Amino acid sequence: MAEPVVVATWPFGKTAVEVASKLLLQGKPPLDAALAGAQAVEDDPAVQSVGFGGIGNAIGTVSLDACVMDGKTLDCGSVAGVENIRHVAALAKKVYEKTPHIMLVGKGAEWFALQNGFQLETLLTPESVAEWYKKRPAKKLETKGHDTVTVLAKDSKNLLGGVCTTSGLSYKLPGRVGDSPLIGSGLYVDDEAGAAGATGVGEEIIRIGGSMFIVEQMRAGKTPQEAVELAIARIIKTATRRGKHPASVAFIALDPKGNVGAACTTGTDFKYAVARGEKIELLQAKEF
């Protein structure tokens, strides 16, 4: 039996990998483990970029996006623009379990949540409202702050699962959806190649189909580290071609052997958490 491995974005990813790793060691499936890890972050009001306590959009509303993917079956589910439901990653999983669809958005996703026993609740906290007022752009729309939690898990049978959940860029326009709930952009998982996930400015991740790009590089024989570096190179090249400065973007990847990769654009200061069995580390990604 191989050692379970979990990798997750940002320092709060330590909570996610700790929870997910314990479940993998008990023999739980990788997607369930990744989901429980992501949910622990969704529940933490101190994390103002995911779930409960997330920072509002341009009009102060918390609007959540999430997706999940199972590497064995390629089952995947996704929700976007969801308000007043805390566990959107679990809701994304329900989409493929209970419907013939992959993605539900807005009011339809909220109706589906209520049909499936999710509770309506306000996701704002006094702290997140105060933060929203303090940092809101004075005049023009300026999206800032990103910190999606993406969790990739491999179990002892080398099966993969992944989850991505976020409140998206703070101060985004109402209705804006980033990469995080888009299968192939914010997340992609295939046991035959590997798993990849993203955080950062979603528009640039969507533009290159970031996570699918990385998984296809691994399918073609690249290591996870080589694959994420190629994706960052693609982000930089695309920005240069468009006469722009590369946006803040980071990727993580995990292959079925448990090899991990991470890379980001300059200035992103991206840290990620890795659990190998019971050993948990917070690592700094290479910047390009």
Q: For ligand ASP, which residue of 70, 179, 191, 216 counts as binding (CB under 6 A)?
A: 179
d(CA 40, CA 226) in angstroms, rounded, equals 30
* Residue 67 touches ligand ASP, criterion: CB under 6 A: no
End-to-end CA distance of the chain: 36
CB of 248 to ligand ASP, least distance (A): 9
Size of site (CB under 6 A) for ligand ASP? 14
Helix 210-219 crosses helix 224-241 at what angle (to 10 degrees)? 140
How many other C-beta atoms lie within 10 A of the C-beta of residue 71? 29
* Residue 147 touches ligand ASP, criterion: CB under 6 A: yes
Q: For ligand ASP, which residue of 49, 78, 211, 265 counts as binding (CB under 6 A)?
A: 49
Q: For ligand ASP, which residue of 168, 194, 210, 224 counts as binding (CB under 6 A)?
A: 168
Helix (H) or strand (E) holding 135: helix 126-135
Helix (H) or strand (E) holding 22: helix 13-25
How many other C-beta atoms lie within 10 A of the C-beta of residue 134? 7
| Token pair of 283 as six digits | 């690592």
Q: Which is nearer to ligand ASP, 87 or 146 (CB)?
A: 146
* Residue 181 touches ligand ASP, criterion: CB under 6 A: no
Catalytic residue among 9, 15, 143, 148: 148
| Token pair of 194 as six digits | 């590997």
> Is residue 156 within 8 Å of residue 4, measured between CB atoms?
yes
d(CA 8, CA 10) in angstroms, rounded, equals 7
Binding window for ligand ASP (CB under 6 A); candidates: 51-59, 98-106, 145-153, 234-242 = 145-153
Q: Which is nearer to ligand ASP, 70 or 147 (CB)?
A: 147
Q: For ligand ASP, which residue of 15, 48, 57, 166 counts as binding (CB under 6 A)?
A: 166
Residue 230: DSSP 8-state? H
Q: For ligand ASP, which residue of 67, 169, 183, 253 counts as binding (CB under 6 A)?
A: 169
* Residue 210 touches ligand ASP, criterion: CB under 6 A: no
Residue 148 among the catalytic residues? yes
> Is residue 67 within 8 Å of residue 78, measured between CB atoms?
yes
Residue 128: DSSP 8-state? H
Q: Which is nearer to ligand ASP, 164 or 274 (CB)?
A: 164
Binding window for ligand ASP (CB under 6 A); candidates: 14-22, 163-171, 232-240, 263-271 = 163-171
Give me the active site residues, please.
Answer: 148
Interface residues with ligand ASP (CB under 6 A) are 49, 146-148, 166, 168-169, 178-180, 199-202
